[in-house]
Each structure stands twice: as C-alpha cells, then as structure tokens.
Amino acid sequence: MINKTLSNVVLALIVFIWVVPFVALVTTSLRSETASKTSGFWTAYTPTELGHRFSTHDKGSVENVTLIEGNIFERLNMDKESFRVSGEVQSILFKGRIPDPDNPGKTKLIRKLVPAGEVMDVRGGDFVFQPNGDFTWRFEEASTPKPKKMDVFIDQNPVFGSDAYEQVLLNDKNVPNALISSFIVTIPATIIPITIAAFAAYAFAWMQFPGRDWLFVIVVSLMVVPTQLAFLPVLQGFSGIASWATALNQWLTDCELNDTCQVASKSFAGLWVTHTAFGLPLAIYLLRNYIVGLPKELLQSARIDGASHLQIFTKIIVPLSVPALASFSIFQFLWVWNDLIVALYIGPNNASDLVFPILLQKQLGTFKDQLHLLNASAVISMIVPVIVFLSMQRYFIRGLLAGSVKGG
C-alpha cells in the first residue's frame, strides 16, 4: 500500500517535471512580447502588475483647453488588435523637476510612484487618474499642452493571442522552410536504415553463413562509436565524392567550371547516408533480437512448403515484425528530427535548407529577447514528434519489450 502511494507520488513528480517546461513553452508563445519579456510564464494566468507607457493625447488634437479627459486603456489599446490591455491601474511613475530644498535656486529630479486619485503636477496642470483608467488633466488657464508620455503600472488581466505563431509561420519564411527541410531529411533517414536493417536482421537471425556471429558482434560493437569522432573523415569523404561528381557532371553536360555544375558536398543526401550509417547498428540489433524470437515452426513449415528466403521475409517476417519496425522508426525519427550536430556539420548550410534544430539554435541568437517567437517555433517543432509518437505509441511499448523479455 505504502509502496503504491510512493510510486504514485514519484510518478506524479516525474510527470510534473516533464510537463512544466512544456507548459512554459506553450504559455510564453501565446503571450505578448512585453509580457513574455517582463514577467514569468506562471504569472500569465492571474492578474499581474506590468509596466506600460501611454501618451495622454494625440499631437495637435487639443488647443486652448482647460481640461483634457481620456482613458488610459483606450490610449494603450489604440493600435492594438490583439493583447488588448485591461485591468486596474495601480500607479503612474512620475518624473519631474522640483525646487531643490538643499540648493536654493536649483532644481532636482524626482521619480516617484503616484497612486490613483492623487493629484500630480504635470506641465503646470493637475493630473489625476482613476483605477478604471479614466484620467483628467486640468489647467487653470486655457493652454495647448504637448502630449505627455507616462509610465503606468497596471494590474493586468490575463490575455493570450496567437500572434507569435502567425508571425513565425506566415511572415517569416524560415520556419516553413525549416519544417520542409526537416521532413526531407527525416523521412528518408528513417526509411532507409529500417529497410536495410530488416534484411540484415533476418539474415543474422535465420540464415546460416560462415562468420555470422562474429559479424554480428562487430555490428553491435559499432554502436559505441561516437558520432562526433567521425565528422571529419565523413566530411572529407563527401567532399571527395562531390569533386568527383562535379568532374563527371562537367564531362557529361559540358558545363563551364562555375557554380552551376558544382555538386555540393554538404547536402541532404549526405545527411541521409550519415544518419543511416549511425542508425544501422542499433536497428539491426533491435530487429534481430525480435526476429530471432519468432516461432521456429512457422519458418520451418514455410521452408518445407518451398518458400524462398525472400518470400519468407516479405510474407512472414515483415508482417510479424510490425511492432519492432514501428518502435525503431519512432526511435530513428525522433533522433533525426531532433538532431542538431550532424546537420550542423554534414548538412547544407545555406539559409533556406536549414533543418529545424539549427533554425532554433540560430533563433536563440536572433530572438533572445523575443521569447514569444522563439517559443512558438519550438512548439511547432515539437508537434511533429508528438504526433508521430502518439500515433505509433501502442507498437512502441510492445516493440521495446520484445527484445528484452523473451517468454517463449
């Protein structure tokens, strides 16, 4: 009983730790720029005091008056279609010069917060405001005051909007470009290794050939090779292939030696090959362990009926291995989708072909003070793996267990 409670508490804690950053991301992406910059995401759901700046009236809108009336919220919301400010006005930061008591004849600058209802002397007039935003500015003699910009603190009601998403998806072509690039990279980089691995796994599990076990040991031990170690030789290889391909291209198409016939060494194809190479050992290992556990009798009777290896593979092994194939494709998809470092070194580096993680990394520099935009792109990049995971989740758990728990 205690054990169960404890594990529930621990589970709840883990879920909490994982969910908080996600809530923070989504919340921030739905807030206004000012709000996301000046207060934490947890303040978004309750009235929060925020600073704003408004100007008392439009230039030239008043002439020789003794009273100017208006509403702070109306002034603030004039050009706003979204994130309209509402709530309760707390105070105005008053900045002005008053005669200095210590130095006669001189003035000194004072800054103080003036609460609602208190009269302050602004440009020779009496300025008073109410918590609901109404303000009056009275002059003893008719005058034409210039508009005054004032800093005001408002206990602001929660307000959300989708502006950040509109901006990154519609106004900024980088995000849609990066989404497309990421798909171009991820889909082949998932399908190619899983196809090769399925064939290899079948061979390792059910075909007899000399050195099979040793070969399998080598493949499995390749899993420990760190990706970073291989960047330089892999890049050198690609650059060699690219210059060879350029020469071939020149010979075939007779193009002049300029950039039109230059074959790029950093390309999507390079990423496919690299991701395939680094994904294969784990894929072969996972699938082989699953396939080796399939009932022997099934395969034997198929062979007695005269089925070839290829027929056994396509007609029996593949349909029975769907959970393992699905779980590995989730692995590979997530890994490639979230990969930054391979894409950074091997992938194309012109602005329109960047994959999503690189774009996010670049935005860290660009949008470091536009958190709402950064978070909106981050949420967009998260949606795809979440959809993939949820739609294949039921295979995922079965497939994971398949290799480890062999009941019979």
Partner 1 sequence: MTMKLKTLGGAAFAAVASAGLASADVCDTPSKLGDLGSFEGEVITIAGSMLGTDEEFLTNTASCFEKATGAKIQYSGSRDFAALIVADLRSNNAPNIAIFPQPGLAGDMAKEGHLVPLGDDLAKWMAANYGAGQSWVDLGTYSDANGKEDFYGFAFKMDLKSLVWYSPEQFEDNGYDIPSTMEELIALSDQMVADGNTPWCIGIESGNATGWTATDWMEDLMLRTATPETYDRWVSNDLPFNSAEVVNAMNVFGQFSRNDDYVAGGAASVATTSFGDAPKGLFTSPPSCMMHRQASFISGFFPNKGAELANGEADFFYFPPYASADLGNPVLGAGTLWTMTKDSPATRAFFQFMTEASAHEAWMSQGVFLTARKGANLDAYATEALRKQGEILTNATTFRFDASDLMPGAIGAGAFWSEMTAFANGQDAQTTADNIQAAWDAIK
Give me the count of residues in the chain: 408
- Of 38, 311, 391, 393, the one binding partner 1 (CB under 8 A) is 38
Question: Is 20 among the residues that bind partner 1 (CB under 8 A)?
Answer: no
- 235 vs 307 by CB, closer to partner 1: 235
Calpha distance 11→47 (Å, rounded): 32
Q: Among 5, 171, 253, 350, which residue interacts with partner 1 (rule: CB under 8 A)?
A: 350
Pick one of 19, 217, 364, 383: the residue that binds partner 1 (CB under 8 A).
364
Q: How far is the CB of 235 from partner 1 (least distance, A)?
A: 4
* Closer to partner 1 by Cβ: residue 306 or 365: 365
The reply on whether position 308 binds partner 1 by CB under 8 A is: no
State yes or no: residue 344 binds partner 1 (CB under 8 A).
Answer: yes
**Bridge partner list, 51:** 153
Query: Applying CB under 8 A, which of residues 8, 361, 391, 393 lies at the interface with partner 1?
Result: 361
Neighbours of 194 (CB within 10 A): 23
Neighbours of 215 (CB within 10 A): 14
The amino acid at 213: D
Q: Within 10 A of 36 (CB to CB), how many other CB atoms are there?
A: 23
The rounded distance, in Å, linking the Cα atoms of 343 and 268 is 9
**Closest C-alpha to 125, from 145, 109, 110:** 145
The rounded distance, in Å, linking the Cα atoms of 255 and 383 is: 44
| 99 SS3 class | strand
Nearer to partner 1, 93 or 318 (CB): 93
Phi, psi of 152 (to 5 degrees): -125, 140
Told to check if 174 binds partner 1 by CB under 8 A, we report no
**Is residue 113 involved in binding partner 1 (CB under 8 A)?**
yes
Among the residue ranges 70-78, 159-167, 177-185, 341-349, the one whose residues contact partner 1 (CB under 8 A): 341-349
Residue type, 70: G
Minimum separation from the CB atom of position 31 to partner 1 (A): 12
Per CB under 8 A, 306 contacts partner 1? no
Question: Torsions phi, psi of 251, nearest 5?
Answer: -70, -40
- Taking CB under 8 A as the rule, does residue 151 contact partner 1? yes
Nearer to partner 1, 52 or 398 (CB): 52
Residues in contact with partner 1, shown as a per-residue x/- string from 250 to 279 under the rule CB under 8 A? --------xxx----xx-------------
Q: Candidates 138, 148, 303, 362: give the one binding partner 1 (CB under 8 A).
A: 362
SS3 268: helix
172 is an interface residue for partner 1 by CB under 8 A: no
CB of 39 to partner 1, least distance (A): 7
Q: Give the whole-angstrom CA distance, residue 50 versus residue 100.
A: 31
**Residue of 109, 132, 129 whose CA lies nearest to 118:** 129
Member of 2, 3, 59, 111 binding partner 1 (CB under 8 A): 111
Q: What are phi and psi of 271, to 5 degrees?
A: -65, -40
CA 306, chain centre distance (Å): 53
Residue 153 engages partner 1 in binding (rule: CB under 8 A): yes
**What is the distance of C-alpha 10 from the center of its chain?**
28
Q: How far is the CB of 224 from partner 1 (least distance, A)?
A: 22
Q: How far is the CB of 280 from partner 1 (least distance, A)?
A: 23
Using CA atoms, how far residue 98 sits from 10, 281, 336, 407, in Å, is: 61, 77, 65, 87
Number of residues that bind partner 1 (CB under 8 A): 45
Q: Please, what is the end-to-end C-alpha distance for the chain in angstroms?
A: 32
The residue within the footprint of partner 1, chosen from 24, 26, 39, 267 (CB under 8 A), is 39
Instruction: Write down the least CB distance from residue 45 to partner 1, Å.
Output: 18
Burial call 371-408: b when 16+ CB within 10 Å, e when fewer: bbbbbbbbbbbbebeeebeeebeebbeebbebbeeeee
**Residue 46 interacting with partner 1 (CB under 8 A):** no
User: Binding of partner 1 at residue 349 (CB under 8 A)?
Assistant: yes
For binding to partner 1 (CB under 8 A), which residues are involved? 33-34, 37-39, 49-53, 93, 106, 109, 111, 113, 151, 153, 231-232, 235-236, 238-240, 243, 258-260, 265-266, 344-345, 349-351, 358, 361-362, 364-370
